[in-house]
Structure 1
């Protein structure tokens, strides 16, 4: 993996200008460290703690690849260590980070998750030199600097793990693993390599096997358990079978893992006006919904999200109503691609699925009165599925205004929640624990449990207002440190982190890791 990255690293090294330390970026003009703003103000050298904090934050942002200026400055510090003792360096880093955090929090939701930072101007200082000096002279200067940290849950745990990954990247090169499939109880000469990777990833405990056992070809119970632990941390079915998806993650070196984690830290840096209240979070790669109240989790459920071809959009909205016993008004895209072909093959399809034909005037049309030439492109009706247990939306729809006609709902096919890869819907989010979710949202309203249960016995559609509309955000966080301190990873199901971008950023991270 490292050999693959060497040419890109050479290009970066040749791009440096060692005289003025101004590196051209893709997004703006050259950005020198020795800015000339207000040169009459003498800058003090910050305390060691502040210097450490600022350089750590700079490195974390640099690893994400969000904007080249951060990696440029970090690599300048590596090439000229004396810059670490220059007051000007930390003024530049602080103002850059301060401006970046402000603009990051002001981004629209989709741009945040997709890493579209289009208008960032790294040359514009966000704080005058005089104001910066006053800040450093404050008795709480370190606390104030720490406010630049991402507003991310378990941030310090994530920082610790990030440094651990960079430390691991400085050790022996990552093993190249052959394409094999190994099941528990089998033998394979590649198992010593797998054990080495599991050990370096922390899934196989040091000392759990003797040196002799580490070199054996037998797929023993201890190694199987380590593989299952690894699979659980990567959202895979924990069956102990080393197959294609497990192998893909085993091959991933620590510097690339560091990139994924760094990007997730940045993506999960929520504005304080969000993190300080109750909200719903749907993490698409994790296939999970959570309700958080002042950053404390109070509800969680598995979910099903959109397929790769019909992605659940990144959006910010709010749940204002809970619809009990909803009818399903079939979207045009699903109608044409999925249902009309079924209707062509089975004339009883409408009755079996309890669908109603609706004409252009909104009137219901009896199936026997349907006028249609049988071609997909000329189907003249819309379809509406009646409420009930058969309904694709299940018994609940959680309405949230948005331009994509996307909402959360229950389902009539709960068996799909048992799959580990749950990108299966046409874009909407199916909630496994929909009943408990509805009760949580309606808590404090006039719709008590007794009334709700009575409604569910009927097939009449009811719109219930949520007493305090709850913000809902769909996000794309692929890595995090969980409550047990375990580092979690998930597949890039929508290819937000495309391979080329990840490779270039991993080059930087590998270089950073050598000097952190």
Structure 2
């Protein structure tokens, strides 16, 4: 819902437009060709949304605006008006709808005020203000544009599949040479005979304009400065900047000339360095071994990479307002980051739900820390996982520290086991007692929600070492659970008291003085601090079946 303050400002600006309109009398409208910088940026904005595949009509309008046979002022006008309508619709979307990119049915109807403003901007040759007002607050935006440009330039290159046999350092195979070339194209190895050059030329700087006009009908603050992170009702604060400076540097900075390899089919040490960089920025096991997962990402085309990156960047526009401290869990990255005053103070590996029991995207708050929590087994897990085991192994319940409960209390084993054996099912609740073997470990972080989803500790520490960690039944297991608990309660309890609560073995609920906002997001691509793209597997298939924006309709 749009803010009254924004509506009042729009009315005021509309009055300014009217005054300006009357003052120029019969001035003739200029062409988009007279404002090349504005036109170029308009096409860039259209390209970004076409790559993200957010709405078929937006893609069509962008295609018409940039195609030689259909390019015209009318096509550019239609694209700009469509972008204004899209961002207005985006401002109404919930957090979940933004993560799922539920925009295919957006209402892109024309708005009379937008048309009037565009007409006047054309007469004043000030279209740039309207275009600038449509620029989302993506972090590293210039670097994003450079990466998209570079990837799109490669889309016409031959990109054959390379996957063959697994290749290890020191081996000599024919596929090694094209792998080396592929890594050069993707920036993980220096190109031949080059000295540390940028991937693409710098984008021309657009000069400052002497008249500044607001863009009535455009969500105010869509181009919020990164440090604002807030406030305007209809705009989206980008938090992809939250990742900046916190992801490993995968860029290749070569300051010396490279030359042809004497044995191009040999998997040598330099190629291994490039493979390890590539694996690191794709969330793979960094071992230098080129197996199925590494091949899969090597074979991912530049156009697909551009689309995945752009869709994830859209998802970074998670909220119109962000508090200064919050917790961010990126599901496909299997990683958590805690921010205090917008500075990262803690990060941790996490385990998320497998595909059949997905961890949901959500915006919520941590309200309580539970020390030594019992585990009340959800009915779905009980029926699907535990009851089948009981037919084969009735002793499983005692070994795992479970209690069988009904409305009157603990049910003795001979009762529930006899009922099970006689075909009466298992109509009981199951609760696991606190302890070293408890599935929830020493800490649970309570979130008020109807899905029984929360964050918690785990005794299975070895699972955090895996590169694929979609292993749970929906809840999020946190490797740094103790550090998170201590941070949440540091202003309420001393370190000795926190340690005593943990070692007591007793269940204690401690209310967090100021509930911590939590965002569970789905970003399978982002830019690192160096501007280099990072990708993760689309574990829940959010981005399947994307339409090629360069294909004929």
Same fold judged by TM-score > 0.5? yes
Q: Equivalents in 2 of 1:131, 1:431: separation in Å?
A: 51
Instruction: Classify 1:43/1:100 alpha carbon distance in 2 versus 1 (closer, same or farther; 3 Å).
Output: farther
Equivalent pair of 1:479/1:487 in contact (CA under 8 Å) = yes
Which residue of the partner structure matches residue 7 of structure 2?
A: none
**TM-score scaled by structure 2?**
0.77
- CA distance in 1 between counterparts of 2:58 and 2:190 reads 36
Q: Which runs of 5+ in 1 are unaligned?
A: 1-39
* Structure 2 Cα separation of the partners of residues 198 and 120 of structure 1: 39
Q: Tell me the residue number matched to 1:115.
A: 101
Give secondary structure in 2 for the equivalent of 1:204: coil
Tell me if structure 2 keeps the 8 A contact 1:59–1:70.
no
State the alpha-carbon separation in 2 of the partners of residues 375 and 307 from structure 1.
34
Contact persistence 2:43–2:66 (CA under 8 A): no
Question: Which residue, out of 195, 208, 220, partners 2:180?
Answer: 195
CA deviations 1:115-151 (Å, max 9, x no partner) are: 3225412233274333345678999985774343233
The 1:324/1:292 distance shift into structure 2, 3 A limit, reads same
Equivalent pair of 2:442/2:502 in contact (CA under 8 Å)? yes
Normalising by structure 1, what TM-score?
0.82
2:224 pairs with 1:176: no
Alpha-carbon distance change, 299 to 127 in structure 1, aligned in 2, over 3 angstroms: farther
**Contact 2:29/2:122, CA 8 A, preserved across alignment:** no
Match of 1:211 among 260, 282, 285: 260
Helix, strand or coil for the counterpart of 1:162?
helix
Correspondence 1:309-328 to 2 at 5 A: 309-328=356-375
**Which stretches in structure 2 are left out of the alignment for 5+ residues?**
1-25, 193-256
**CA distance in structure 2 between the aligned counterparts of 1:493 and 1:375, rounded to whole angstroms:** 41
Q: What do the CA deviations read for 1:362-389 (whole angstroms, capped 9, x no partner)?
A: 5122334535233787012111011122
C-alpha displacement of 1:165: 1.0
180-189 vs 336-345, greater mean Cα deviation = 336-345
Pair 1:255–1:332, CA change in 2 (3 A): same
* Residue in structure 2 matched with residue 508 of structure 1 by the alignment: 549
SS at match of 1:379: coil
Residue among 484, 487, 498 paired with 2:533: 487
Match runs of 1:290-439 below 5 Å: 290-293=337-340, 295-359=342-406, 361=407, 363-370=409-416, 371-374=418-421, 378-439=425-486
> Which deviates more from structure 2 when the two are superposed, residues 426-435 or residues 134-143?
134-143
Is the partner of 1:285 in helix, strand or coil? helix
Deviations 1:33-75 (Å, cap 9, x if unpaired)? xxxxxxx997555643332222211110011111111211121
Q: Check whether the contact 1:385–1:391 (CA below 8 A) recurs between aligned residues.
A: yes
Partner residue in 2 for 1:149 = 135
Q: CA RMSD in A?
A: 2.7
Q: Residue deviations 1:313-361, cap 9 Å, x none?
A: 12222111111111100011111121223333333222211111111x1
Aligned to 1:36: none
Inter-partner Cα distance in structure 2 for 1:376 and 1:203: 60
Q: Does 136-145 or 373-382 show the bigger shift?
A: 136-145
